[in-house]
Chains A and B, each alone.
Chain A
């Protein structure tokens, strides 16, 4: 039997997967093992599959994903820290035929942007909010976040989060699920292929809701931060499953179909 060469394999008919054109070729600025890259990819794949990329405006936050616009090949705005839902509110109201989403981390969405998040959700703005929760401020070097677990160490809780002194972690997703303006609230993860598929389905549902003018869809993705957690990627994912998921259980929290 003749030896199969790389050239034989790289034929168009053998192609089973290709990076979406909605991701640029710029190397990701995220740490190896971080969930952001996967989350970026599936958001962009959903836009491509729905063929709405030319009608979509994304809002990037402040945090690790501040440079999301470098990687997402669509029109984007970069917001001040926590203000993405305010920008998205105006963008959607002034352009009701466009698709609008925010992509925010936990510090951005659940601390400094709490008011903007809650009120955009409560008004039922017809937008999608993608919330990446890794329980830490990654970009600034691993400080305590509103979502940092009790006892969890960070650079500003070096002996572990003492809830009596530092307050409790905020379950923002459960909180916004109680508001009448949210139509779909779910918590997912991207650490295994099965979870990636589920999360992508959730994101697709969120954008389909927007297409039908149903209201605000809120998709939390519990993610790892191996650098901030001072672990290697495998350890970080294991730690996430053992510690983050019991506190932030995965699954749909509110589905108003």
Chain B
């Protein structure tokens, strides 16, 4: 039986992680995501499912605990906000290199530096283009509702294990803090020891006599082998692009103009679409749900249909680079956004569409 509740985005994510059969959460407090660990500690998941919840000494330690747990074939996760996610980049690179499954939540706040605790989308480049060192990608899921905060905890684990790859849930301070109704999945059991040995035969579970030892590492000093490993990673990322691209289209069928926006910006843009359509201007919204893989193909198709595209982001314009790559120079692509923790209003988006795209 599914359960209906009124929850904060951060709480919904935490509850959904327990219900997804998570084995361990390792975190460090930072606004605006501290409710994740607070909720988990209050819920005593060790009594509910046996899940381990540990407050680490730093974000660095937390992501490395995730590495250790994931290397044992366990479902493990961490969460943080922008400055803390920067600290985790070393660990994320190692996790990607060692091909370990895990879920990482970033409840983005404005930067750079300590910045602000208010919502932002200025970590797009870090999230989708690498972040840490080396050629690697994460699957990046961008929730735009409390419901998706819950859904993407479970989806994140499933994709992480399908591809042996870290999955980033890229939220923001608004989605993390706001309350909405959310439909929660039933409790899924945690992996048993037998399931781990069967489903993740690479995991370090203790070397028994019937198999060779399992080694989890990202190191290979033989450059020829390291290049082969990189080729294998790239092939995996290509497969993700073919199979895991997710997006939502709103009022795009007859659209003359298009807005591309994700997360909080997509919610605001949806209202802007309604306002513009009330004036007789046919605007559609394309909401990327996965930021990597990016919905390049559908944006390319829509570029043949519309006269101009506005990207709306709470940043100086980061996703716009991927939109421009999809569009080429076929139609005009412009950015509208606010920075430093300011959330744009729908009327600002309407105005930007009129001045930058329609009349521009």
User: What residues make up the interface of A, taking CB atoms closer than 8 Å to B?
Assistant: 53-57, 59-60, 66-67, 69, 73-80, 83, 86-91, 93-95, 98, 115-116, 118-119
Complex formed: what's the CA distance from A54 to B215 in Å?
Answer: 14
Q: Are A89 and B54 in contact (CB under 8 A)?
A: yes
Complex formed: what's the CA distance from A75 to B208 in Å?
Answer: 9
User: Which B177-232 residues have C-beta < 8 A from chain A?
Assistant: 204-209, 213-219
Q: Are B206 and A87 in contact (CB under 8 A)?
A: no
Q: Are A75 and B204 in contact (CB under 8 A)?
A: yes
Residues of A within 8 A of B206 (CB): 53-57, 74-75, 98
Q: Are B72 and A95 in contact (CB under 8 A)?
A: yes
Residues of B within 8 A of A54 (CB): 206-209
Q: Which of B24, B52, B217 contacts A78 (CB 8 A)?
A: B217
- B 94-107 to A, binary, CB cutoff 8 A, 1 in contact else 0: 10001000000000
B52's nearest neighbour on chain A, judged by CB, is A93
Q: Are B216 and A86 in contact (CB under 8 A)?
A: no
Q: List 20 A-B contacts (CB under 8 A).
A: A53-B206, A55-B206, A56-B206, A73-B213, A74-B213, A75-B206, A75-B215, A76-B213, A77-B204, A78-B219, A79-B68, A80-B64, A83-B91, A86-B64, A89-B65, A93-B54, A94-B24, A94-B69, A98-B206, A116-B57
Q: Are A87 and B64 in contact (CB under 8 A)?
A: yes
A78 nearest CB across to chain B (Å): 4
Complex formed: what's the CA distance from A119 to B57 in Å?
Answer: 7
Say if the beta carbon of B76 comes within 8 Å of chain A. yes
Q: Are A91 and B208 in contact (CB under 8 A)?
A: no
Count how many chain B residues have C-beta atoms less than 8 Å from C-beta atoms of the other chain.
38
Q: Given contacts A54-B208, A83-B60, is CB(A77)–CB(B68) below 8 Å?
A: yes
Q: Are B207 and A73 in contact (CB under 8 A)?
A: yes
Q: Given contacts A91-B71, A94-B23, A94-B74, is CB(A86)–CB(B217) below 8 Å?
A: no
Say if the beta carbon of B90 comes within 8 Å of chain A. yes
B268 nearest CB across to chain A (Å): 39
Complex formed: what's the CA distance from A115 to B59 in Å?
Answer: 11
Say if the beta carbon of B339 comes within 8 Å of chain A. no
Complex formed: what's the CA distance from A91 to B206 in Å?
Answer: 11
Q: Are B72 and A94 in contact (CB under 8 A)?
A: yes
Most buried by B among A53, A55, A77, A93: A77
A66's nearest neighbour on chain B, judged by CB, is B219
Q: Are A59 and B68 in contact (CB under 8 A)?
A: yes
Residues of A within 8 A of B26 (CB): 90
Complex formed: what's the CA distance from A74 to B215 in Å?
Answer: 8
Residues of A within 8 A of B65 (CB): 86-87, 89-90
A82 nearest CB across to chain B (Å): 9
Say if the beta carbon of B56 comes within 8 Å of chain A. yes
B215 nearest CB across to chain A (Å): 5
Residues of A within 8 A of B67 (CB): 77, 79-80, 83, 86-87, 90
Residues of B within 8 A of A76 (CB): 204, 213-216
Residues of B within 8 A of A88 (CB): 68
A56's nearest neighbour on chain B, judged by CB, is B206
A24's nearest neighbour on chain B, judged by CB, is B213
Q: Given contacts A54-B206, A115-B58, is CB(A75)–CB(B24) below 8 Å?
A: no
Say if the beta carbon of B66 comes within 8 Å of chain A. yes
Complex formed: what's the CA distance from A54 to B209 in Å?
Answer: 8
The 3 closest A-B pairs by CB, nearest first: A87-B68, A78-B217, A86-B64
Residues of B within 8 A of A55 (CB): 206
Complex formed: what's the CA distance from A115 to B65 in Å?
Answer: 13
Complex formed: what's the CA distance from A133 to B218 in Å?
Answer: 25
Complex formed: what's the CA distance from A9 to B277 in Å?
Answer: 95
Q: Are B61 and A86 in contact (CB under 8 A)?
A: yes
Most buried by A among B62, B68, B207, B209: B68
B56's nearest neighbour on chain A, judged by CB, is A86
Residues of B within 8 A of A60 (CB): 217
A58 nearest CB across to chain B (Å): 9
A58's nearest neighbour on chain B, judged by CB, is B204
B59 nearest CB across to chain A (Å): 11
A98's nearest neighbour on chain B, judged by CB, is B206
Q: Are B205 and A90 in contact (CB under 8 A)?
A: no
Q: Which of A80, A90, A91 contacts B94 (CB 8 A)?
A: A80
Complex formed: what's the CA distance from A73 to B66 in Å?
Answer: 24
User: Which B5-26 residues have C-beta < 8 A from chain A?
Assistant: 23-24, 26
Complex formed: what's the CA distance from A123 to B138 in Å?
Answer: 32
B70 nearest CB across to chain A (Å): 9
Q: Are B207 and A75 in contact (CB under 8 A)?
A: yes
Complex formed: what's the CA distance from A87 to B345 in Å?
Answer: 44
Complex formed: what's the CA distance from A80 to B63 in Å?
Answer: 11
Complex formed: what's the CA distance from A57 to B98 in Å?
Answer: 16
Most buried by B among A56, A75, A98, A119: A75
